[in-house]
Structure 1
Amino acid sequence: MRALAWLLTLTAALAARLRDGDPERGDVPGWVMITVMTAALVLAILVPFREAIVSAVQNALASVTNGG
């Protein structure tokens, strides 16, 4: 029972420290969510359209290197 009380006290102290942190710190979980969602969106687009994207990029590079 003593260990549980110690754990709850430690958790409360950590939560209070994080809450009272630097106001300029920012919203880290929000940035993590944005990054993960962006990566998922890129994969969702890239997987089904990979061949078309590669072909379009190759055509564009060939057009530029061949002078139009």
Structure 2
Amino acid sequence: MNDQLIKAHVRLTDAVRRATARLDDETGDVPGWVLITLMTAALVTGIWAIAGEQLKGMFERAITGVTGPDQVHN
């Protein structure tokens, strides 16, 4: 019985050490961050190309609603 407990303890200790080593690794996932950045830029560009005029109109109406029609400068 003691042998089984010792073996289980050793396996658990090793697993915790390996998990802790992975958490301490600060190299990061550079390819993943690059992919997220590129995908975000592509989405913004696509939305801007498709709905740029509508977004501009919405923004101008929102600013006019806050500042009043006399304050808008084009």
Distance in structure 1 (CA, Å) of the matches to 2:62 and 2:27:
42
Unaligned runs of 5+ in 1: 1-21
Give, in angstroms, the shift of residue 48 of structure 1: 1.1
Distance in structure 1 (CA, Å) of the matches to 2:37 and 2:49:
18
Give, in angstroms, the shift of residue 24 of structure 1: 1.1
Calculate percent identity across the aligned residue pairs.
49
1:60 is paired with a residue whose SS is helix
Specify the code of the residue in structure 2 equivalent to 1:61.
Answer: I
Report what 2:40 is aligned to.
Answer: 38
TM-score normalized with structure 2 length: 0.58
Total equivalences in the alignment: 45
TM-score normalized with structure 1 length: 0.62
Higher helix share: 2
Unaligned runs of 5+ in 2: 1-23, 69-74
Give, in angstroms, the shift of residue 50 of structure 1: 0.5
